[in-house]
């Protein structure tokens, strides 16, 4: 553990536990290194002989870092990572010694017993085998922790027949799709030099930090990651400067350790304090290739949790750990960039590039408008239901924020068919008479939009804090690939007929006109927007259960199959898994509530009423004429609430049992959402009132105030 006052050089430790390009270049024979580079940059298959050499060097390097085991590190559909550790040790030789070995085959392919991971029926139990395949575009790393050091190899996870059982496989497929279509589009604009277009992602991660000892006294936090009971602290979200100062010291030491750990793993963390909610913070890495960013985000979440323990803290990644206090999300910053450094979302410096930019932009408008349901679904998880569609932002309605400048350009295009002036400052010329000259306006800031253009990237702000960012990026990559592909179909034909310029203009105007309804630059948190969005016909999907069906609509199947990202069977399986996940998680919450109310809260309240009654009769008998009406009133009030609690508990028990006995699927998920959750709310209400009445010393768990303000 890093202590205050110990210093180290960031550049020295950065990536020290990563088998990165520099390490490969240094350790691999030149030919092998070149083959690896080709495999990584061009997606070529790796032959076994080369893999053997890479595996050997990787093992030697890992052993130098103290590694005894290796694991194929993968991301099944549980939202977290999974791994199965194997040691490098071979069978003992005749002299009783062992060798440490690691073959190319072991590097490339693994066969974890996969039957316990969700497959949604894709993998029948008699065919439980799944396999993991090395994703050599995300570097291997050594993780050091209490279990020792382990060589972790990022992999994709598939069924024996090749169906994706994980987050990574479709992500890699979607990256290929957007690459192919974007290159096609670039060629139309005369770019013959860029070879590859890559989706880049920079996810900003929000989280809460609480004291671990207090955390351990909250069974709800332990079992479900969020508080199932808890009255709002009298202070609400206002900060207490005194406590805030104290938080800073302890959190600063924690963040310092988190950074160091992440830097060693090659994750370029830059930590910052977030002041929206007490005890809430944010960590953002510098953006990376989408699949690496997804892996790194998993490492960030793991590291945040692991390091917290060392500081006597607990990291809460749940989207809504505390009712009434701001929740946590993830801002998924997304852009597409060529291998020679051109960001397709950058308005650019030449007129030519600006036309291309407007086409890219309007293609994205179209993609987001047509597939708003899929984007919304990609941000759906059980915890995020407390943010999206609740009284908190971002709203569940997908809309795009463009900013004043771009909006003006679009408005001109739509209303007059051409745009001839620009709102501000030094212009960038488009060189096309009918297209506007403009400049990018990076000063625009809108924090309430779920999908905001921020200068040279889009920021998708709906994603939940504990969810994988794979799915949102799968959807983004694929829907944009589709829009590009459709634009290219039109433009390639026009180009052959020597009518490219006019065709581009028409297409930009057409997309802007047809999909302008998805653009909204106002306050996304307001009730007026909900009304306005309804008028515009935009979907407002307020729960995960209602978001799930978007995954396998005819439109979705057509989209994903066309670009080879998901088969229908894969989509159907994901739908099944999501309903199951929803029902399971709510069931766990319900059972935790039943347990806490029955074993902790009701006994504590009874103790309190007993103490009240004892004092009441003692006071009454000692001084007969004393006024005991206050004690009486309190006793009555507490007893009434106790009886409400008892009734609500019985009702919740009843419906939870009903839910658990239902067949898995949509009907069960709907039952959990509509019936079980209401019963949970009905139990929480009297308990939260009781918390305000019962002697604090007798209340069986730390309060919101204790958790949030006294870290
Ligand atoms: P904000 O104002 O939203 O905090 P930042 O500049 O701090 O914006 O960036 C937030 C995240 O966006 C960071 O992870 C950053 O690396 C990432 N980011 C910046 N530029 C890009 C880009 N072109 N593509 C993808 N992500 C980017
Ligand atoms: Mg941001």
Provide the pLDDT for residue 424.
45
What tokens appear for 667 in the block?
């009907």
Sequence-ordered list of residues with C-beta below 8 angstroms from that of 710, at least 6 positions apart, any chain = 211, 214, 243
Measured distance CA(76)–CA(164) in Å, rounded: 9
Put residue 646 in one of left, alpha, beta given phi > 0 → left and psi -120 to 50 → alpha. alpha
E strand or H helix that includes residue 83: none
Sequence-ordered list of residues with C-beta below 8 angstroms from that of 73, at least 6 positions apart, any chain = 81, 82, 83, 152, 153, 154, 155
What are the Cα distances from residue 630, in Å, to 220, 332, 607, 689? 33, 55, 18, 18
In Å, the largest CA–CA distance within the chain is 105
Measured distance CA(118)–CA(111) in Å, rounded: 16
Q: Of the candidates 587, 605, 576, which has an alpha carbon nearest to the alpha carbon of residue 698?
A: 605
Angle of the 168-188 helix axis to the 351-370 helix axis, nearest 10: 140
575 Cα: distance to centroid of ligand 2 (angstroms): 30
Measured distance CA(247)–CA(170) in Å, rounded: 41
Mutate to test the pocket of ligand 1, among 284, 342, 346, 472 (most ligand atoms within 8 A of CB): 284
121 Cα: distance to centroid of ligand 2 (angstroms): 38
Q: Which atom belonging to ligand 1 lies closest to the Cα atom of 445? A: 2
What is 581-709's CATH number, 3.30.413.10, 1.10.10.10, 3.30.70.20, 1.20.120.1560? 1.20.120.1560
Provide the pLDDT for residue 358.
92
What tokens appear for 280 in the block?
């809430």
Measured distance CA(573)–CA(480) in Å, rounded: 24
What tokens appear for 148 in the block?
């020792």
Q: What are phi and psi of 288, to 5 degrees?
A: -145, 175
Q: Are 413 and 420 in contact (CB under 8 A)?
A: no
Q: What is the CATH number of domain 174-566?
A: 3.30.590.10
Residue ranges per domain, the chain? Answer: 14-165, 174-566, 581-709
Q: Which atom belonging to ligand 1 lies closest to the Cα atom of 333? A: 26
Measured distance CA(214)–CA(224) in Å, rounded: 15
Measured distance CA(177)–CA(564) in Å, rounded: 8
User: Cis link prior to 394 (omega < 30° from 0)?
Assistant: yes
What tokens appear for 59 in the block?
């093992």
Ligand found nearest the CA of 460 = 2
Measured distance CA(543)–CA(377) in Å, rounded: 9
Q: Are 347 and 428 in contact (CB under 8 A)?
A: yes
Give nearest CA residue, ligand 1 atom 17: 202
Provide the pLDDT for residue 444.
52
Burial class (CB in 10 A: 0-12, 13-18, 19+), 181: buried
- What is the Rg, in whole angstroms, of the alpha carbon atoms belonging to the chain? 28
Sequence-ordered list of residues with C-beta below 8 angstroms from that of 647, at least 6 positions apart, any chain = none
CATH fold match for the domains 14-165 and 581-709: no
Q: Are 42 and 123 in contact (CB under 8 A)?
A: no
Place of tokens 């945040």: 304
Partners of 208 in the beta sheet? 280, 316
Concatenated DSSP letters of 422-446: -SSSS-B----TTS--B---TT---
121 Cα: distance to centroid of ligand 1 (angstroms): 38
Mutate to test the pocket of ligand 1, among 275, 281, 287, 461 (most ligand atoms within 8 A of CB): 287
Q: Of the candidates 536, 539, 565, which has an alpha carbon nearest to the alpha carbon of residue 552?
A: 565
Give nearest CA residue, ligand 1 atom 7: 284
Q: Are 298 and 468 in contact (CB under 8 A)?
A: yes
Give just the sign of the alpha carbon dihedral 680, 682, 683, 688.
positive
Can you name the CATH fold of 14-165?
A: Ubiquitin-like (UB roll) (3.10.20)
What tokens appear for 372 in the block?
């708003």
Measured distance CA(463)–CA(450) in Å, rounded: 9
Provide the pLDDT for residue 128.
63
Measured distance CA(695)–CA(702) in Å, rounded: 12
Ranges of residues in the chain whose predicted pLDDT is under 70: 1-6, 114, 123-128, 234-247, 271-278, 349-353, 391-393, 416-445, 625-626, 711
Measured distance CA(290)–CA(296) in Å, rounded: 10
Residue ranges around ligand 1 (CB below 6 Å): 200-202, 204, 284-287, 333-335, 343, 456-457
Task: Note the pTM of the prediction, 2 decimals.
Answer: 0.92
277 Cα: distance to centroid of ligand 1 (angstroms): 22
Q: Of the candidates 209, 196, 387, 174, which has an alpha carbon nearest to the alpha carbon of residue 291?
A: 174
List b or e across 25-41, with b for residues whose CB sees 16 or more CB atoms inside 10 angstroms.
eebbeeebbebbeebbe
Quickly count: other Cβ atoms within 10 Å of residue 277's Cβ: 19
Give the three-state DSSP class for 106: helix
Q: Are 177 and 563 in contact (CB under 8 A)?
A: yes
User: How far from chain centre, in Å, is Cα 254?
Assistant: 22
Q: Of the candidates 306, 307, 308, 286, which has an alpha carbon nearest to the alpha carbon of residue 297?
A: 286
Provide the pLDDT for residue 112.
78
Burial class (CB in 10 A: 0-12, 13-18, 19+), 92: exposed
Q: What are phi and psi of 312, to 5 degrees?
A: 70, 25
Q: Which atom belonging to ligand 1 lies closest to the Cα atom of 335? A: 24
468 Cα: distance to centroid of ligand 2 (angstroms): 17
Provide the pLDDT for residue 383.
95
């Amino acid at each position: 553990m890093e202590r205050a006052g110990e210093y180290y050089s960031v550049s020295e430790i950065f990536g020290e536990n990563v088998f990165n390009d520099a390490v490969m270049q240094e350790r691999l024979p030149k030919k092998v290194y070149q083959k690896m580079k080709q495999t990584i940059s061009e997606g070529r298959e790796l032959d076994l002989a080369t893999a053997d050499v890479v595996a050997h060097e990787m093992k030697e390097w890992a052993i130098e870092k103290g590694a005894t085991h290796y694991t194929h590190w993968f991301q099944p559909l549980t939202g977290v990572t999974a791994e199965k550790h194997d040691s490098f040790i071979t069978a003992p030789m005749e002299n009783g010694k062992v060798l440490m070995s690691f073959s190319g085959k072991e590097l490339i392919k693994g066969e974890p017993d996969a039957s316990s991971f969700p497959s949604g029926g894709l993998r029948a139990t008699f065919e439980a085998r799944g396999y993991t395949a090395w994703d050599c575009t995300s570097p291997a790393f050594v993780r050091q922790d209490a279990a020792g050091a382990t060589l972790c190899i990022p992999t994709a996870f598939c069924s024996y027949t090749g169906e994706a059982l994980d987050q990574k496989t479709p992500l890699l497929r979607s990256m290929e799709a957007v690459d192919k279509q974007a290159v096609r589009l670039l060629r139309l604009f005369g770019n013959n030099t860029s070879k590859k277009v890559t989706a880049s992602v920079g996810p900003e991660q929000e989280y809460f930090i609480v004291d671990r000892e207090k955390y351990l006294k909250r069974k709800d936090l332990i079992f479900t990651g969020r508080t199932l009971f808890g009255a709002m602290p009298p202070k609400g979200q206002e900060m207490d400067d005194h406590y805030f100062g104290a938080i800073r010291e302890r959190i600063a030491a924690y963040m310092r350790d988190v950074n160091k750990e992440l830097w060693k793993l090659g994750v370029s963390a830059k930590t910052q304090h977030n002041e929206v909610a007490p005890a809430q913070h944010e960590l953002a890495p510098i953006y990376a290739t989408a699949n690496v960013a997804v892996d790194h985000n998993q490492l960030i979440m793991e590291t945040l949790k692991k390091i917290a323990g060392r500081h006597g803290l607990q990291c809460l990644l749940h989207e809504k750990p505390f009712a009434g206090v701001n929740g946590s999300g993830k801002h998924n910053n997304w852009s597409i960039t060529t291998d020679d450094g051109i960001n397709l979302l950058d308005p650019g410096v030449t007129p030519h590039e600006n036309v291309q930019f407007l086409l890219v932009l309007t293609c994205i408008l179209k993609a987001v408008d047509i597939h708003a349901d899929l984007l919304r679904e990609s941000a759906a998880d059980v915890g995020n239901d407390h943010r999206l569609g609740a009284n908190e932002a971002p709203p569940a309605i997908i809309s795009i924020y463009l900013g004043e400048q771009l909006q003006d350009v679009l408005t001109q295009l739509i209303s007059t068919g051409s745009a001839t002036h620009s709102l501000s400052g030094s212009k960038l010329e488009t060189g096309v008479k009918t297209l506007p000259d403009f400049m990018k306006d990076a000063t625009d800031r809108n924090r309430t939009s779920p999908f905001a253009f921020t200068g040279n990237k889009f920021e998708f702000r709906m994603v939940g804090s504990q969810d994988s960012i794979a799915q949102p990026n799968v959807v983004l990559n694929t829907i944009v690939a589709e829009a590009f592909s459709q634009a290219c179909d039109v433009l390639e034909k026009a180009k052959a007929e020597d009518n490219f310029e006019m065709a581009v203009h028409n297409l930009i105007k057409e997309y802007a006109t047809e999909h302008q309804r998805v653009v909204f630059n106002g306050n996304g948190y307001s009730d007026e927007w909900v009304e306005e969005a309804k008028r515009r016909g935009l979907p407002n999907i307020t729960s995960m259960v209602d978001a799930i069906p978007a995954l396998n609509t005819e439109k979705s199947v057509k989209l994903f199959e066309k670009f080879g990202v998901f088969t229908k069977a894969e989509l159907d399986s994901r739908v099944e898994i999501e309903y199951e996940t929803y029902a399971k998680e709510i069931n766990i919450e319900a059972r935790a509530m039943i347990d806490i109310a029955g074993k902790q809260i009701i006994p504590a309240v009874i103790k309190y009423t007993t103490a009240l009654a004892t004092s009441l009769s003692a006071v009454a008998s000692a001084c007969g004429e004393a006024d005991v009406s206050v004690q009486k009133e309190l006793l009555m009030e507490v007893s009434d609430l106790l009886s409400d609690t008892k009734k609500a508990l019985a009702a919740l028990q009843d419906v939870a049992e009903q839910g658990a006995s239902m067949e898995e699927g949509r009907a069960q998920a709907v039952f959990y959402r509509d019936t079980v959750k209401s019963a949970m709310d009905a139990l929480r209400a009297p308990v939260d009132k009781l918390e305000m009445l019962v002697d604090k010393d007798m209340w069986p768990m730390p309060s919101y105030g204790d958790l949030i303000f006294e870290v």
